[in-house]
């Protein structure tokens, strides 16, 4: 037993435990895969600790170590793939590429050194990898990379350099993980830097391992400690990514409505102020539109709050689909929405804009398997005609909207108040 590896083993176990605690507050499929991958690295580290300090390791331990390296690398690649792709395609892609490699690492771990035994797996791996790349992934560049990687393995094995071939395959797996994480994680993430660096070092270590063992065995212990270093680096990077995403999510929640995903009052106030300054400089009109869902309380009372939430989401989506990219729609709270639309040339432009919102809201929606049409009261104010600051614009729009709500119910599903209201 090699007791020198115990501190690294315990350190890795502690980092995985911390990652699991962070994961409880930030649960997603990718974090689940991270934990599974790190679990296999922990199993590998435990098996490695049982290696004799000198001499050939036990065959079973050797198989466990190499297979855990490979499985962990495949799991990390799974975590780094595009999560929007169908689950079946991602599982099939990883499995097909991994099975032949797993056969190679298992045979090598069992200390089989006959090149002819490996060649059928190399050929099968190349064919499967290319087919997988072209059919499932539809990526000819990946297919070319598969050919290059498997051909390199075949050449090394044909020369009797089986150890180099096996560790070359592991290096390719971990280098692929580094590239995938580089593509998928946010560009400014500190965790991304740690993860990509860790996987890059890991791949480099796999390439160096056969060379150090055969030529410089006196440095094997140092190389092993470097080997364990990047495991901690990757674990820390994953913790950082989860914490950074949590901070980003908290910042988003501070500025958005959780139910509809629209900007909240705080973010809208900032955007309205910017829009007023923009229109003032360009000497153009700005429309501030307030939309209040009619009889929303009765929807909650008769159909339930889940139905009310669905109505709010449907209204928010209808409004979002019918504004321009430069406009902003927000939820002020309850059943009230507000839109700011800049660069309105005339009052007629504002009326046409409000009419498009009306048509969007009037469309039937399905709530609790029942078709219904939502009606709303709408009021708007125009900058600079009605007011020149955000507070007064909102007051005028609110007054017009509430004036409509106090009117008797008309036959039209939606009415728009355009009557003059004195400036505040």
State pLDDT tens for residues 241-252: 888 888 888 888
User: Would residue 254 be called left, alpha or beta, if left means φ above 0 and alpha means ψ between -120 and 50 degrees?
Assistant: alpha
Q: Which pLDDT does position 212 carry in this prediction?
A: 84
Where helices occur in 26-158 by DSSP H, the ranges are 29-49, 59-80, 87-109, 115-131, 140-158
In this prediction, residues 64-76 reach a mean pLDDT of 94
In this prediction, residues 216-233 reach a mean pLDDT of 75
Please name the residue that has the structure tokens 């000198």: 54
Residue 414 has pLDDT above 70, yes or no: no
Rg of the chain, C-alpha, whole Å: 31
Please name the residue that has the structure tokens 């600051």: 389
Name which residue leads in pLDDT, 121 or 80.
121
Neighbours of 118 (CB within 10 A): 24
What is the CATH number assigned to the segment(s) 265-417? 3.30.70.270
In this prediction, residues 228-256 reach a mean pLDDT of 86
The pair of three-digit structure tokens given for residue 338, joined into one six-digit string? 């507000």
Chain-centre distance for alpha carbon 284 = 40
Residue 262 has pLDDT above 60, yes or no: yes
Q: DSSP assignment, residue 339?
A: E
In this prediction, residues 193-200 reach a mean pLDDT of 93
Residue 253 has pLDDT above 90, yes or no: no
Residue 421 has pLDDT above 60, yes or no: no
Q: Which pLDDT does position 108 carry in this prediction?
A: 93
% of the chain residues with pLDDT over 70: 92
Beta strands in 161-273 (DSSP E): none
Residue 209 has pLDDT above 80, yes or no: yes
In this prediction, residues 334-344 reach a mean pLDDT of 90
In this prediction, residues 155-174 reach a mean pLDDT of 94
d(CA 407, CA 275) in angstroms, rounded, equals 32
Q: Which pLDDT does position 413 carry in this prediction?
A: 39
Q: Which phi and psi angles does 410 have, rounded to 5°?
A: -100, 175
Residues in CB range of 323: below 8 A, 6 or more apart = 329, 339, 341, 357
Q: Which pLDDT does position 417 carry in this prediction?
A: 43
Name which residue leads in pLDDT, 246 or 199.
199
pTM comes to: 0.73
Residue 214 C-beta-side C-alpha neighbours within 13 Å: 9
Report pLDDT digits (tens) over 359-382: 888 888 888 777 888 888 888 999
d(CA 273, CA 216) in angstroms, rounded, equals 68
Domain residue spans of the chain = 3-255, 265-417
Q: Which pLDDT does position 408 carry in this prediction?
A: 57
When mean pLDDT is compared across 123-127, 213-217, 305-309, 395-399, the lowest value belongs to 213-217
Residue 27 has pLDDT above 60, yes or no: yes
Q: Which pLDDT does position 415 carry in this prediction?
A: 40
Q: Which pLDDT does position 360 carry in this prediction?
A: 87
Q: Which pLDDT does position 26 carry in this prediction?
A: 67
Q: What are the beta bridge partners of residue 367? A: 370
Average pLDDT value over all residues in the chain: 85
Residue 171 has pLDDT above 60, yes or no: yes
Q: Which pLDDT does position 58 carry in this prediction?
A: 84
Residue 239 has pLDDT above 60, yes or no: yes
Q: Which pLDDT does position 326 carry in this prediction?
A: 87
Identify the band that residue 412 occupies on the pLDDT scale cut at 50, 70 and 90: very low
């Amino acid at each position: 037993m090699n007791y020198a590896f115990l501190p690294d083993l315990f350190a890795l176990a502690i980092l995985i435990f911390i990652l699991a605690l962070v994961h409880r507050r930030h649960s997603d499929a990718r974090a689940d895969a991270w934990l599974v991958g790190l679990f296999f690295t922990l199993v590998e580290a435990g098996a490695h600790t049982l290696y004799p300090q000198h001499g050939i390791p036990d065959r079973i331990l050797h198989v466990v170590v190499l297979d855990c390296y490979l499985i962990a690398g495949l799991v990390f690649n799974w975590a780094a793939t595009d999560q929007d792709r169908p689950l079946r395609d991602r599982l099939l892609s990883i499995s097909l590429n991994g099975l032949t490699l797993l056969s190679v690492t298992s045979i090598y771990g069992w200390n089989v050194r006959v090149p002819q035994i490996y060649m059928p797996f190399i050929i099968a791996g190349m064919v499967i990898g290319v087919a997988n790349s072209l059919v499932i992934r539809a990526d000819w560049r990946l297919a070319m990379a598969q050919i290059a990687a498997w051909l390199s393995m075949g050449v090394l094995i044909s020369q009797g350099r089986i150890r180099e071939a096996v560790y070359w395959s592991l290096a390719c797996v971990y280098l692929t993980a580094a590239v995938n994480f580089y593509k998928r994680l946010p560009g400014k993430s500190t965790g991304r830097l740690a993860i990509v660096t860790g996987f890059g070092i890991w791949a480099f270590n796999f390439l160096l391992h056969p060379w150090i063992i055969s030529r410089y065995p006196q440095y094997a212990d140092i190389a092993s400690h470097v080997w364990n270093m990047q495991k901690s680096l990757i674990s820390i990077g994953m913790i950082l990514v989860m914490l950074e995403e949590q901070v980003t999510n908290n910042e988003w929640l501070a500025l958005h409505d959780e139910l509809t995903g629209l900007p909240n009052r705080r973010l809208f106030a900032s955007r309205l102020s910017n829009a007023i300054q923009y229109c003032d400089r360009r000497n153009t009109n700005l429309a501030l539109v307030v939309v209040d869902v009619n009889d929303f309380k009765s929807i909650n009372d008769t159909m339930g709050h889940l139905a009310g939430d669905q109505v709010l989401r449907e209204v928010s989506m209808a409004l979002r689909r019918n504004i321009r990219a430069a406009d902003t729609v927000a939820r002020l709270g309850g059943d009230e929405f507000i839109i700011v639309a800049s660069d309105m040339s005339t009052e007629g432009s504002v009326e046409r804009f409000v009419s498009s919102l009306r048509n969007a809201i009037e469309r039937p929606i399905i709530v609790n398997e029942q078709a219904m049409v939502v009606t709303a009261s709408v009021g708007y104010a125009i900058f600079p005609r009605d007011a020149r600051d955000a507070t007064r614009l909102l007051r005028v729009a609110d007054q017009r909207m509430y004036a409509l709500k106090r009117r008797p119910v008309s036959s039209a599903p939606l009415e728009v108040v355009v009557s003059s209201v004195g400036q505040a």
